[in-house]
Structure 1
Amino acid sequence: MTIAIFKAQRDVLIRPLQVICGIVEKRNTLPVLSNVLISTGSDEVRFRSTDLELELMAREAIQTGQSATELLVNARKLLEVVRAMPDAELTLSTSEKHLFVRAQGSRIQLQLANPDDYPLAARNGDDSEPVSVKAGELKRLLHSIHFAMGDNDLRYFLNGALLITGPRLTAVAIDGHRLATASIPLVGDAKHSEIIVPRKAVLELIRLLPDDESSVCVETSMRYAKFEFANVSFACKLIEGRYPDYTRVIPTSFEAEFSVDRLQLLACLQRAVILTNERFRSIRCVADDGKLTVFASNADNEESVEAIQIDYLGANVELSFNIRYLLDVASTLKTDRLNFRLSPGNLSALVSAQDMGDFKYVVMALRG
């Protein structure tokens, strides 16, 4: 005997399943984490996934006409099944051990798991402090700094982004060789707080956030952060630890500066990276009156030399960089020109953008 749960158009079901599958690993040490928990009410269906560090819930307004029901089924299989169905209304029903997906003569049967085995939802607690930001601004903020986050760094607190509230929302990323920071306005007042959001959570937010003026409610506590927007609720465990004082890394005095067309610089770097050493990726940059010359070479005695125009007046300056660090900023920012200011002794460069006044990117120069 089967019991009908609800009916919905295929595309209505694809949307929430695509959202929650973003954090479902293809291979899990705990098989239960490969599943999606589907909860029904009279006028809403909720889809929840978790990897124990991140949690996603997507809601869809679907009339079920049934009392509250919970079922647990493999998330990726269900998404693939729904995608493969005809573009029509789908009927989902269950027996004691199976979920059935039907449409226009097709019927696919999936194994159900015990919903009691699924981890409980994250709870923020009474110490949470909600703030509000615009979705598109938060998406661009995180995108502008994400490339500078640590990745499997032994200093675990660098494997994420620092978010600081009050009076603006500031994001900071450091990997030990470079720093990126930017800020956006908050909607209303907010108390000062600092949290470290894991790298995977930052990347997932960039994927999920809409690029529009809709509101995002950000709720934080000692252990969790929760982001509510549209029909999505996203929660993550925070990284515990003390983030470095990033302001000490940003140089305040300079001995040379220039501005360069971003797309010209990007094209130049994309050509130069072809000939750099696979391990070190080092390039030499020489700035003088009106031009920046980029030199790249490798152990096979191959070489690339290219000069591009810059707005620069001053003494000649020569220093080396990891080309990947320059490529990251040139390819990520959507701006016409990049400004470079060189610290005394050519220890680092501070990169900013004329139309992104709050963005700062510090990249350390290579020695020797």
Structure 2
Amino acid sequence: MKFNLEKKDIDSALLSLSAVADKKQTLPVLSNILIKAQENGLNMLSTDLEIELEMDVENVVVEEPGEITIPAKKASDIVKELPDGNISFSLEEGEKFKIKTPTGEYNLVTMEASSFPEFSSTEIDNAHEINSEELVELFQMTSFAMGNQDWRHYLNGTYIECAMGTLKMVATDAHRLAMCKKEFNTEAEFSGIIPRKTCMELMRILPRENEKIKFSIDQNRIVFSSPNFIFKSKLIDANFPNYNQVIPSGDFIEIKVNREELLDIVSRVSVLSNDKFKGVKLKSEGNLLKIFSSNNDQESAEEELQLEVANEGFEIAFNVNYLREMLNTIEDKSISIQSFGNEKSALMKTTNDKRVLVLMPVRL
């Protein structure tokens, strides 16, 4: 086996494949990438048995076809650190895989391609189509609210749902909730929970230009396909909670502030917040919003911010990390916060009426 290509044509693919490969090394070969050099191009695969990524690499010159598996992280790290330019890859005698540049070479241990698990069929049945920009936006607008290693495993992912011509994604970790929806031209109805790792890796590899992405979903798995990759993932086997019950309704008090100024202030004030709860309090007084924090050492911080829309009686406290993360997903110059009571969830309103952002309060 021997092939060569420019660094820019393979480094991002190796990074994505390395991220998918199994780091727990349940089976040693799962920490490897399967490389197939063929006369018509280069194909690479990785899996952790929960998700599978297959990528085609362009602009490659294959001098000798062949296939082998190489350590995913080591190969990715080496190529990432190499200078821009042409890189030669070859399988040498003694089963060492050589990565060579004009100034150096690296020799990696390999495992036989035959030991790599066989991938299931890549046929996309009943495929739907969506623009990559829209799919990326759906993930970016919601995935920050996913759970992370929560014992309630159904929270460790993003819920996808299609009904009545609307495609929705919803994520929650029980402290905040994010929902985003798009019009979707289909009569099909489907739903499932996409695992956290799948969401994170898809956001990495999905093209930012307006490219068509095909996907299909059944009760057990979801498959995404583009001209350059096929990404298959198992779905989380659980029922997603009724997210509509979390979205507050009824009477509320609303304020409107400059988003960036609020973000800067809560970041400064939070330095003296309680280490455990990381809480900051927001309270309206006249045309001002006052932001407070304090800790067990009897230290405190207070700043004020001019309100664009003022209403007396607004008072609520949030975890500053959740508040900042939510504010960072918004591009609007100004945002509105609707409080339904200091012990009830609040709504953060933006100019995007396709988004719903819910933030649960904390007690200080």
State the TM-score, normalizing by the size of structure 1.
0.89
Deviation of residue 37 (structure 1)? Answer: 0.2
Aligned partner of 2:201 in structure 1 is 204
Judging changes above 3 Å, is the alpha-carbon distance between structure 1 residues 26 and 137 closer, same or farther for their aligned structure 2 residues? same
Counterpart in the other structure of 1:92: 90
The 5 A counterparts of 1:29-48 are 29-48=26-45
**Residue 155 (structure 1) shift:** 1.3
Pair 321,131 (structure 1): closer, same or farther in 2 beyond 3 Å: same
Alignment of 1:270 onto 2:252: no
SS of alignment partner, residue 346 of structure 2: strand
Partners of 2:91 and 2:321 lie apart in 1 by 51
In structure 2, C-alpha distance between the alignment counterparts of 1:185 and 1:79, rounded to whole Å: 38
For the Cα contact (< 8 Å) 1:284–1:321, is it kept in 2? yes
**Structure 2 counterpart of 1:235, one-letter code:** K
1:11 alignment partner AA: K
**Which residue does the alignment assign to 1:101?**
99
Residue in structure 1 matched with residue 69 of structure 2 by the alignment: 72
* 1:342 is the counterpart of 2:336: no
Residue 295 (structure 1) shift = 0.8
- Judged with a 3 Å threshold, the aligned counterparts in structure 2 of structure 1 residues 252 and 49 are, in CA distance, closer, same or farther, namely same
SS in structure 2 opposite 1:161?
A: strand
Q: Does 1:325 align with 2:322?
A: yes
- CA deviations 1:243-300 (Å, max 9, x no partner) are 1111111122232112111101100110111111111112222124322111100111
Instruction: Mark the CA change 1:257 to 1:78 in structure 2 (over 3 Å): closer, same or farther.
Output: same
2:360 to 345, 364, 367: 364
Which residue number in structure 2 is paired with residue 168 of structure 1? 166
* Residue 137 of structure 1, aligned match among 134, 137, 156: 134
Question: Which residue is equivalent to 1:184?
Answer: 182
- Cα distance, 1:106 vs. partner? 4.3
Matched residue, 1:295? 292
Contact 1:125/1:221, CA 8 A, preserved across alignment: no
What amino acid sits opposite 1:360 in the alignment?
A: V
State the one-letter code of the partner of 1:98.
Answer: K
Q: 1:297 to 1:230 in 2, by over 3 A?
A: farther
Of all paired residues, the percent bearing the same amino acid is: 26
Q: Secondary structure at the match of 2:142?
A: helix
The answer to whether residue 246 in structure 2 is matched with residue 249 in structure 1 is yes
Which stretch of the first structure deviates more once superposed, 19-28 or 263-272? 19-28
Query: Could you tell which deviates more after superposition, 94-103 or 240-249?
Result: 94-103
The unaligned stretches of length 5 or more in structure 1 are none
Distance across 2 between alignment mates of 1:85 and 1:281: 43
What are structure 2's unaligned runs of at least 5 residues? none
Cα offset, 1:366, TM superposition: 2.5
CA distance in 2, matches of 1:23, 1:210: 17
- Alpha-carbon contact 1:161-1:202 (below 8 Å) kept: yes
Measured at CA, do residues 248 and 217 of structure 1 come closer, stay the same or move farther in structure 2, by a change above 3 Å?
same
Residue 113 of structure 1, aligned match among 111, 134, 143: 111
TM-score by length of structure 2 reads 0.90
What is the CA RMSD across the aligned residues, in angstroms?
2.4
What amino acid maps onto 1:113 in structure 2? M
- Give the Cα separation in 1 of the matches to 2:304 and 2:250: 27
C-alpha distance in structure 1 between counterparts of 2:173 and 2:115, whole Å = 38
